[in-house]
């Protein structure tokens, strides 16, 4: 088994910036939730690929919360970082910020947690480097990721048990 060198979360940090245009909004002039989810998935995929150095695929979107609307003409900035790596999977957080360029303001608008898996050319999972948190925030995210993973696995187990009863 190959031993991979651990990496710091800052090594794979991704910051993406998009202007909200009319095609991206609903009838209220707010950024479509699906459009934000699309951007979140791209930002998270880039983090996963940077960390793993491999092709990575979305395994799950564990949670996405919409805290504030993002309006037409605003700028949405996504800040994506890896929280923790397991064997072949990685948990990534993407935070979206609404920036109003005319008033020079910024508000936290959304947070999402996604799981990605590194794969080979046959679609089989590959081992990824571990995460070596450096800052207090990175250490907290690292610990919280283990809790969320435990919850994900438990949920999957319960759903499988329920399906067997049918």
Res 34: pLDDT? 97
Tokens 């990685």 — which residue? 90
- Is residue 127's pLDDT more than 60? yes
Distance of CA 144 to the CA centre of its chain: 14
DSSP state string for 8-76: -GGGG-EEEEEE--GGGB-TTSBBPHHHHHHHHHHHHHHHHHHHHSSEEEEEEEEEEEE-S--BTT-EE
**Over the stretch 22-39, which tens digit does the pLDDT of each residue have?**
999 999 999 999 999 999
Could you read off the pLDDT of 44-91 as tens digits, one per residue? 999 999 999 999 999 999 999 999 999 999 999 999 999 999 999 999
Residue recorded with tokens 């800040």: 79
- Can you tell me the distance from the alpha carbon of 87 to that of 129, in angstroms, rounded to the nearest whole number? 8
Tell me how far apart the alpha carbons of residues 60 and 131 are, in angstroms, rounded to a whole number: 19
Q: Judge contact between 148 and 155, C-beta under 8 A.
A: no
Contact 47, 12 (CB under 8 A): yes
State the pLDDT at residue 166.
65
Q: Is the pLDDT of residue 106 over 70?
A: yes
Please tell me the predicted confidence (pLDDT) of residue 128: 97
Q: What sign for the dihedral angle of Cα 146, 139, 115, 54? A: negative
| Sheet of 55-66, strands arranged across | 14-19, 75-85, 89-100, 105-119, 55-66
Q: Going from the N-terminus, what domains does the chain have, and what CATH number goes with each?
A: 9-165 (3.10.129.10)
Q: Which two tokens stand for residue 88?
A: 């072949």
> Among 2-11, 116-125, 126-135, which is the least confidently predicted range?
2-11
Across all residues in the chain, what is the average pLDDT?
Answer: 95
Dist. CA 102–CA 92, nearest whole Å: 31
Better-predicted residue by pLDDT, 129 or 165: 129
């Amino acid at each position: 088994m190959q031993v991979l060198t651990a990496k710091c979360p800052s090594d794979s940090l991704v910051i993406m910036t998009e202007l909200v245009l009319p095609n991206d909004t609903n009838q209220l002039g707010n950024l479509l939730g699906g459009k934000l989810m699309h951007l979140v998935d791209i930002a998270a995929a880039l983090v996963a690929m940077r960390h793993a150095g491999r092709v990575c695929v979305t395994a799950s979107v564990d949670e996405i919360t919409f805290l504030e609307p993002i309006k037409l003409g605003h700028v949405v900035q996504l800040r994506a970082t890896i929280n923790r790596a397991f064997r072949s999977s990685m948990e990534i957080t993407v935070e979206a910020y609404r920036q109003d360029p005319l008033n020079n303001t910024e508000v936290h608008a959304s947070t999402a947690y996604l799981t990605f898996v590194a794969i080979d050319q046959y679609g089989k999972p590959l081992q990824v480097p571990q995460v070596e948190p450096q800052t207090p925030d990175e250490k907290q995210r690292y610990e919280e990721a283990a809790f969320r993973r435990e919850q994900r696995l438990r949920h999957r187990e319960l759903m499988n048990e329920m399906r067997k009863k049918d």
